[in-house]
Structure 1
Amino acid sequence: MKKIPARILLPIIMGLCFILENTVSFYFAHTLFYGATKYIPHFIIVMLIMMVAYIPRNQVLVYALILGLIYDVYNIGIIGVYFAVFPVVVYISGKLLHYLQGSFLMVLLVSIFGVAVSEFGAYLIFSSLKSVSIAFLPYVTSRLTTTLLFNMAYFLIVYFPFTMLLKRWQRENKGISATQVKL
């Protein structure tokens, strides 16, 4: 049986990741969003940051723009929030991973940083639009820290299987990569 090329699998997996993020948000909404602490899944950002470690940044920026637009249309209703945030996070993460010559630990730390930038960027945009009413300190204590921990757990679960696919993508594309991540 012939293997499906990684260039075909990658968009499928990113689509499934989008569905998983929304499914987790929907089915666990009471647990995740209501209560003293809130856990916001940012699975797409985590996957995009892992991608930028293995795939040239410009190609990942295309994924970030498309997924940001779809995310805005499907989840937010205001086009432009994540359409802007996703590419900015990918760009910054790509630059960081390029200079840090990322290992597993560096990709983890950059992923945490990327989720924080994404969450904080969205918070700033929504607070400037007056569509969020939580003050900054309660936001950090009840939402940002728990969101970072939740997404770090997701990273630890998907890192090794997803990087195997990304390494296969590299082999299929003759190893062209913006950064070389070592395990």
Structure 2
Amino acid sequence: MNRFLLPVMLAAFFVIESVFVQLLPAEIFNSDRILVPRFLIIAIFFLTIYGSKKYGIIYGFVFGLLYDVFYTEILGFYLFFFPLTAYLVSKMMKVLQTNIVIVTIVSVIGVALLELGAYEMNLLIHRTDMSFSHFASLRLLPTIVLNLAFSIIAAYPLKRLYEKFAEHLTE
């Protein structure tokens, strides 16, 4: 496996998320729901599970910092939560079977944890006054559905790629 393939692919997911938001706004569906693509963190979850936990957490730190720099006004939130959720997902997978269906479900649970953490942090620092039920119906559920669809589509290619990466690491 080419050593530049993994960082380039994760950087592509980083860029695709912002392009996706621009190309498919929720207004297309005549809705005020907020669709948040979390393709990068799903790829990091799959890396943590099928590739290497160490690399998953390292890439979580790197891309968490990039997320904070490019998308948020609060430095440190995603820097902390990307590797934390990757670590929690890896711990969940120690108890569960590592088949593709379970990994997809656990990845979506990780996305939900990330979204809940973002909501709670914004609520804590008074950047939002949205109630939890409003948040759940307008942002959390649409985000989970969108990322579940992405996980189903990308699960097998990511699994194969990261298994090759794991083989390359053991050589």
Is TM > 0.5 for Structure 1 vs Structure 2?
yes
Q: CA deviation at 1:55?
A: 2.1
RMSD over aligned Cα atoms = 1.8
Q: Which residue among 115, 130, 147 is the counterpart of 1:134?
A: 130
Q: 1:48 & 1:64 partners in 2: Cα distance?
A: 7
SS in 1 for 2:170: coil
Aligned AA (1:46): I
Q: 1:166 & 1:109 partners in 2: Cα distance?
A: 18
Aligned AA (1:85): F
Instruction: Name the stretch that deviates more: 20-29 or 41-50.
Output: 20-29
1:79 counterpart = 2:75: yes
Aligned AA (1:80): G
Q: Which residue among 157, 165, 170 is the counterpart of 1:169?
A: 165
Alignment of 1:6-155 (within 5 A): 6-31=2-27, 35-155=31-151
Q: 1:132 & 1:34 partners in 2: Cα distance?
A: 23
Instruction: Name the stretch that deviates more: 113-122 or 154-163.
Output: 154-163
* Sequence identity percentage: 26
SS in 2 for 1:50: helix
Aligned AA (1:62): I
Q: Which runs of 5+ in 1 are unaligned?
A: 176-183
SS in 2 for 1:102: coil
Higher RCO (Cα < 8 Å, 6 or more apart): 1
Aligned length: 171
SS in 1 for 2:3: helix
1:158 counterpart = 2:168: no
SS in 2 for 1:173: helix
Q: CA deviation at 1:34?
A: 8.1
**Residues 10 and 40, structure 2, Cα contact 8 Å, conserved in 1:** yes
- 1:180 counterpart residue number: none
TM-score, normalised relative to structure 2: 0.93
Instruction: Name the stretch that deviates more: 136-145 or 25-34.
Output: 25-34
SS in 1 for 2:81: helix
Q: CA deviation at 1:65?
A: 0.3
Q: Which runs of 5+ in 2 are unaligned?
A: none
Aligned AA (2:99): S
- For residues 13 and 91 of structure 1, do their structure 2 counterparts lie closer, same or farther at Cα, with a shift above 3 Å needed? same
Q: 1:134 & 1:44 partners in 2: Cα distance?
A: 26
Instruction: Name the stretch that deviates more: 81-90 or 51-60.
Output: 51-60
**Residues 85 and 118, structure 1, Cα contact 8 Å, conserved in 2:** yes
**Residues 115 and 148, structure 1, Cα contact 8 Å, conserved in 2:** yes
Structure 1 stretches of at least 4 aligned residues deviating more than 4 Å after TM superposition: none
